[in-house]
Structure 1
Amino acid sequence: MRTWKDIRENQTSIPKEELSLIDTLSFLQAQRIKQGISQTEFAERINMTQPQLAKIENLDSTPTLATLNKYAKGLGLEIKLSILPLETAK
């Protein structure tokens, strides 16, 4: 089975700006699965419908930061953002 890590290493069509969102969502989904929580159970836990959750996890819908925070909180996690200077080309 291919993982997001495998796909990410070989992809060229996803803009760099979107990769952090995909990485975050992939991590959160993996944590949900690791905790043995079904989509239906988790959707109820975070006050969402299962089809809404499926659309987010399948990247058919782009989640807002508020939605990502709700997802993380439902797993007992917290999202923290960092603002860093851009790396300069050498």
Structure 2
Amino acid sequence: MTTWEDFSQKLKKDNPEKLAIIKTLADLESERIKQGISQKDFAEKIGMKQPQLAKIERLDSLPTLATLNRYARGLGKEIRLSIVTQ
């Protein structure tokens, strides 16, 4: 059986950008749940249909930065990016 750690390590090597999106979405979804907001109510709040939100949360579709920002704003949060020298 593959563990989350195994999966995330493979993803980190293969596609670190995708892992960053998944982690950000997981944090946002966790916050939505913590705030006690249903998918249906939240989708309505951010101008989205519930099936569309469910598809994003299931990772059937990888959200764009614009969608992640929309999600974050609906929770009273914002996403900040930074550029760092490697």
Give the TM-score range, shorter chain: 0.7 to 0.9
1:10 aligns with 2:6: yes
1:26 aligns with 2:22: no
* TM-score normalised by L of structure 2: 0.86
Q: CA deviation at 1:58?
A: 0.5
Which segment is superposed worse, 11-20 or 53-62?
11-20
Partner of 1:36: 36
Identity within the alignment, %: 60
Partner of 1:83: 83
1:54 aligns with 2:54: yes
Which segment is superposed worse, 15-24 or 44-53?
15-24
* TM-score normalised by L of structure 1: 0.82
CA distance in structure 2 between the partners assigned to 1:26 and 1:39 by the alignment: 14
CA distance in structure 1 between the partners assigned to 2:66 and 2:73 by the alignment: 10
Q: CA deviation at 1:24?
A: 0.2
The gaps in structure 2 that reach 5 residues or longer are none
Q: CA deviation at 1:18?
A: 1.1
- 1:69-80 equivalences in 2 (<5 Å): 69-80=69-80
Q: CA deviation at 1:85?
A: 1.8
Partner of 1:3: none
Offset from partner CA, 1:13-42 (integer Å, 9 cap, x none) = 422221110010000000000000000000
Q: CA deviation at 1:62?
A: 1.2
Aligned residue pairs total 80
